[in-house]
Amino acid sequence: MSSLQRFSVAMEQRLFEQLEGLVRKAGYANRSEFIRDLLRDRLVEDEWADDDEVIGTITLVYEHDTRLLSERLTHLQHLRHDLVLATTHIHLDETMCAEMIMGRGSAKEIRELVDLLRQQKGVLHAGLCIGSTGKGLT
Binding site for Ni ion (CB under 5 A): 64, 91, 97
**Distance between CA 37 and CA 27 in Å, rounded?**
13
Shortest separation between residue 37's beta carbon and Ni ion, angstroms: 35
Instruction: Name the residue nearer to Ni ion (CB basis): 97 or 130.
Output: 97
Helices (H), the chain: 13-25, 31-50, 69-79, 107-118
What CA–CA distance (Å, rounded) separates 97 from 112? 22
Nearer to Ni ion, 97 or 110 (CB): 97
Least Å from the CB of residue 115 to Ni ion? 22
State how far the alpha carbon of 29 is from the alpha carbons of 14, 25, 26, 33, 36, in Å.
21, 11, 9, 7, 12
CB of 61 to Ni ion, least distance (A): 10
Cβ-based nearer residue to Ni ion, 61 or 102: 61
Which C-beta is closer to Ni ion: that of 64 or that of 111? 64
CA distance 112 to 34: 33
Closest residue to Ni ion, based on beta-carbon distance? 97
Tell me the closest approach of the beta carbon of residue 122 to Ni ion, in angstroms.
12
